[in-house]
Structure 1
Amino acid sequence: MKNIKYYLAAILVILLASCEVNDLQPQTALSETTAFETPERIELAVAGVYDGGQSGFYLGGAVRGYPFGAAVHQQGDMRGEDMISTQLFYAITYENTYDPTSPNNGFLWQTLYAMINRANIVIEGIKKTRPSAVLTQEKLNEYEAECRFLRAIGHHFLLIHWSRPFSDNPTAPNGGVPYRTSSVGVVGGASVDEAIAQGRNTVAECYDKIIEDLNFAETNLPATRATNRITRATRAAAIAAKTRVRLHQGRWQDVITEGNKLAPQATAPFSSPIGSHSLTASPMGPFGAGNKNNSESIFSIENNDVDNGGVNGALPTMYGSSASGARGIICISPILWNQSWWLASDLRKSATMVQDDPVTAPGRGGKFTRKYADAVTRTDNSPIFRYAEVLLNLAEALARNSSGVDPKAVALLNAVRNRAVTNTADQFTVSSFATSTDLVRAILQERRIEFIGEGLRWGDIHRLSKDPNFDVGGIPAKANRGISNFAPLYTNNPATTFPMQPAIPYADFRFLWPIPSEEIVNNPTLAKQQNPGW
């Protein structure tokens, strides 16, 4: 947390959005003692927590999509090898030259904790509110569940950047992050001194608290919503989050238990009895024109024409080609493009989903995803959980939990892959895999293709870092950011070579981000618990 006394004092008010989440601009501010006096104000307070996730502060208070509106995607992709920062914009993250003063890292920490503190303020206010005929206990529990859902996924993003994975000594003292369940600096919450004294939990403790929050969310969230159906948390969103979190823990049976709630069928077509989620027919279905309303998106953070990440942060401006009016900053790396398992005929390589940037433009001939289409008004929602991820999470867990090649795992993989791989000869069958390990490898490869531009690559690198078969060894080698012309490098041939930035071993201190300097200066407890090497 940036300068804990300054930042937490600023949270003494609850920033309020309108009662519709699709108007994300803060309208006014109320003290924590008056924000929960009416049902309308509680609705506004909860919407304000979503707003904290969509438009947290940056240098000078600028909005750049911190933390969930865009930043978690961009930072997650820039830490991996499958996309390239063509400009200086993300060079610090891409080239691993960050330090405790780096703003992109620091503001992700600060805005995640700012959102978490908002959630805690609202939870505490709700708990003090007496139920009534117009505001039932069931509705109060639903509001609390939304806040606990956001609190849980916020802490999980903190863990994958500032802590070693669950597979690496999860009970080590101070290995996790501070898991904050009390507001700080407000009436009824913890004092600043109490917050400073808390220190870091263990990784295991953090995961236990995440699951506790998500279990509460699953129990108390609605299955469906008449409005804001993908931009307000639902029961399926909580379950989807648990499949991801349990995957990071390597708890395969728990992933299967949660995944089967949303995909209980033994064979395709798969659909969720909770929330009626299903894959769209096309891999582009959840994006472009379908970004705001589709069957596949389980939870997204809303952006609109008046509140978005701006020209310096919004998803379409960063990920889009300059040919579409975007800035051409983050392009697909030839490292991924040229892999033999990403077939040239895959529709996710087609002009429908990929756009070339002119060699003379900022993107230097790179290939850019079309997932985010609105580079002018920047209204594309930020995808957090999709049904495709749930299916692949479940597929991986089934494959890992089986001594042979699990037929359902193959069917789940095919359900996602065959939307884009339409040549029958190229599609998988159970006999395509000699062992379950081969099947897991194919699922992991599919994740790299399917979730390009959605920031999930770093999470996979992180969780697989101690995997006996799929450990990439740390931060992978990447294409050199200074390549002057990317266009000739997209050959569909894995033997193609080009200048590379060297890998960083897992044991290197740079695998983890440092706790930001503002926090260290103002928080003596965390100053003693800085990640080693920083």
Structure 2
Amino acid sequence: MKNIIYLYKSLFCILLLLSTSCQLTEDLDEYEPLYSLPGETAISNQTSAELALTGMYASLRQTSLGGFPHYTIVPSTLSGLDTGGLFSTGVEDRGFQSNNPDPTGTKTRAIYTNLYTLINRANWVIEGTEKLVSSDFVNPERQLEIIGEAKAMRATGHFYLLRLYGQFYDLTSEYGVVLNLVPAKDANPRPRNTVAETYTAILDDLEDAIVEAPNATNKYYASSVYAKGLKAKVLLYQGDYSQAALVAEDVINNSGSNFGLMPTFGELFQHDGANDYLNTLESLFNTYSDLDEGIGSGNFWDGIFANTSDTYYELGENGTMTINGQVIKHDATRIPYMQLGTPFNSSFNGNFKYKQRQGINLYETHYHLRMAEIYLIYAEAEARRNTEVTIEALNALNAIRLRAGATTTGADGFETYPTTISYPEFLEAVRIEKLMELATEMGEDFYDMVRYEILVTPTPSGEDFKVSMVNPTATNPDKFIIPIPETSIIAGQGIVKQNPSYEQ
């Protein structure tokens, strides 16, 4: 709805009450008191609750310190997909590029702070809205919907933190993240929760959001469908493949006419006002933006702060898998589309997903989750739970290839995968398909690589997959995650433990 444009312009006063300093420099999980009396009374009716909710979503937009979109770039830098842009030449950038992140880096801190800002704003929305009564709402059902949306975003924030700063791949690890489940009202540091505790909190929030959040809304608001889709993704990361497959299948089959695959890959990224880019059929959730957006992902991924690697394009254009003598290319249509993005500097590869044209206003957004990824989550989970390639898993994988223009003739080239594909071949095909489909969106390329190594995933050649097979600098498993910012460790007075191999 168009009113959100005006809501963003009305945020100044409410954000003074519901968040910390606009510079976002607080160290330990945005713990500085939020002017407690005004913060606790700012939500008094439906209008103020909606404003607070809008302020929560604003955390996903770019800040002066770049929490977003740096969150989407850093994992792809660790994987080697991003090779650095015109301004990515500092010590911190070189650390990401060599898989040796710097605990004192500004991007490391900005992402960490920005995600806790999202979580803390969600907490204020939940606490404030729960205190109201139904008569405070024009539509009494809206009270639970607002709470459900906030819980979906709190789960999103904790999941993003866990993937980047916690050992998300080890359910027995003590290195989860600090869970914030109530608004921060004091400066008392708290220890990190375990990975298992973090997953439990995320899934609890998602279960509530599936019930409470609205079924269908503008795609820049969280819905019950997004919560269910994120649950499938979290379950995949957690290693619960049976449940991940069941939930993903439910999302694919039962989400209603507002959710599905777009007819073509290119239609997802038509950056113009004529196309409802923010409400595309395929999106489960994306970040809001308007036509007056000054800077965003395009400026970052178009050669300024990030640069899509030549290796990625070469893999898509020339990479193949041979199955029973049939040579199947990894891609043919998405790679050329990506290369249409002309960068500011001709020595860098462009990226049409976030293309910028000077003098033309374009929508800028991040797809946090879209239906193509749900199909690929289902394909992997269905295969892993059976330790074999089922027809259902194969059909899900091939659905995304067919949408990308693959044919089913059985000849060599950009074809669908045949039923004779082996289990190791299938798992590798899913990983590469996600890379081709989701490259530069939310860092899935790196997180998949980490999961595949930790899961001791067999490759078609018979070796177990290693992250270093893709990025030779990624040899230390401790550095598959980045460090907690040093400022937060210091502010935590020794209570918040640093990740292994980053201790001073």
TM-score bracket for the superposition, by shorter chain length: 0.7 to 0.9
Q: Deviations over 1:494-524 (max 9, x none)?
A: xxxxxxxx423243x4333221121122111
The alignment status of 1:109 with 2:90, answered yes or no, reads no
Q: Which residue of 1 aligns with 2:370?
A: 386
Q: Deviations over 1:239-268 (max 9, x none)?
A: 11111111111111111121121223xxxx
Q: Which residue of 2 aligns with 1:212?
A: 204
Whether the 8 Å CA contact 1:400–1:437 is kept in 2: the answer is no
Distance change (3 Å), C-alpha of 1:516 and 1:353: closer
Which of 150, 153, 174 pairs up with 2:153?
Answer: 150
Q: Which residue of 1 aligns with 2:314?
A: 337
Whether the 8 Å CA contact 2:165–2:483 is kept in 1: the answer is yes
Q: For residues 259 and 123 of structure 1, what CA distance do their matches in structure 2 show? A: 27
Distance change (3 Å), C-alpha of 1:88 and 1:27: closer
How far is 1:19 from its partner? 6.0
Residue pairs, 1:480-519, within 5 angstroms: 502-507=472-477, 509-519=478-488
How far is 1:85 from its partner? 1.5
- AA aligned to 1:466 is I
Matched position secondary structure for 1:119: helix
The percentage of aligned residue pairs carrying the same residue is 23
Whether the 8 Å CA contact 2:73–2:306 is kept in 1: the answer is no
Matched position secondary structure for 1:262: helix
Whether the 8 Å CA contact 1:410–1:428 is kept in 2: the answer is no
Q: Deviations over 1:97-132 (max 9, x none)?
A: 432210111110111111111111111111211221
Q: Which residue of 1 aligns with 2:502?
A: 533
Q: Which residue of 1 aligns with 2:173?
A: 172
Distance change (3 Å), C-alpha of 1:159 and 1:333: farther
Matched position secondary structure for 1:331: coil
- AA aligned to 1:340 is T
Whether the 8 Å CA contact 1:161–1:513 is kept in 2: the answer is yes
Whether the 8 Å CA contact 2:167–2:173 is kept in 1: the answer is no
The alignment status of 1:27 with 2:12, answered yes or no, reads yes
Which of 489, 493, 497 pairs up with 1:524?
Answer: 493
Matched position secondary structure for 1:148: helix
Q: For residues 431 and 152 of structure 2, what CA distance do their matches in structure 1 show? A: 26
Structure 2: which 5+ residue stretches go unaligned? 18-37, 322-327, 459-463
Whether the 8 Å CA contact 2:137–2:143 is kept in 1: the answer is no
Q: Which residue of 1 aligns with 2:297?
A: 315
Structure 1: which 5+ residue stretches go unaligned? 1-17, 59-63, 186-190, 265-271, 322-326, 479-501
Q: Deviations over 1:40-69 (max 9, x none)?
A: 1111001110012224451xxxxx3x23xx
Q: Which residue of 1 aligns with 2:395?
A: 411
Residue pairs, 1:103-502, within 5 angstroms: 103-132=106-135, 134-135=137-138, 138-166=141-169, 168=170, 170-173=171-174, 175-185=175-185, 191-193=186-188, 196=189, 198-225=190-217, 229-264=218-253, 272-274=254-256, 276-289=258-271, 290=275, 291-306=277-292, 310=295, 314-320=296-302, 327=304, 329-335=306-312, 337-338=314-315, 339-341=319-321, 343=329, 346-350=332-336, 352-355=337-340, 362-364=345-347, 366-376=348-358, 377=361, 379-425=363-409, 426-433=414-421, 435-454=422-441, 455-469=443-457, 472-474=465-467, 478=471, 502=472
Q: For residues 119 and 362 of structure 2, what CA distance do their matches in structure 1 show? A: 26
Whether the 8 Å CA contact 1:316–1:375 is kept in 2: the answer is no
Whether the 8 Å CA contact 1:247–1:393 is kept in 2: the answer is yes
Q: For residues 344 and 179 of structure 1, what CA distance do their matches in structure 2 show? A: 40
Number of residue pairs aligned between Structure 1 and Structure 2: 450
- AA aligned to 1:42 is A
Whether the 8 Å CA contact 2:46–2:138 is kept in 1: the answer is yes
Q: Which residue of 2 aligns with 1:481?
A: none
Q: For residues 374 and 142 of structure 2, what CA distance do their matches in structure 1 show? A: 27
More strand by share: 1
Worse-matched range after superposition: 444-453 or 516-525: 516-525
Whether the 8 Å CA contact 1:399–1:437 is kept in 2: the answer is no
Q: For residues 168 and 137 of structure 2, what CA distance do their matches in structure 1 show? A: 45
How far is 1:375 from its partner? 4.4
Worse-matched range after superposition: 42-51 or 83-92: 83-92
Q: Deviations over 1:216-237 (max 9, x none)?
A: 0011111112xxx110011110
Q: For residues 357 and 42 of structure 1, what CA distance do their matches in structure 2 show? A: 42
Q: For residues 21 and 262 of structure 1, what CA distance do their matches in structure 2 show? A: 30
TM, length-normalised to structure 1: 0.78
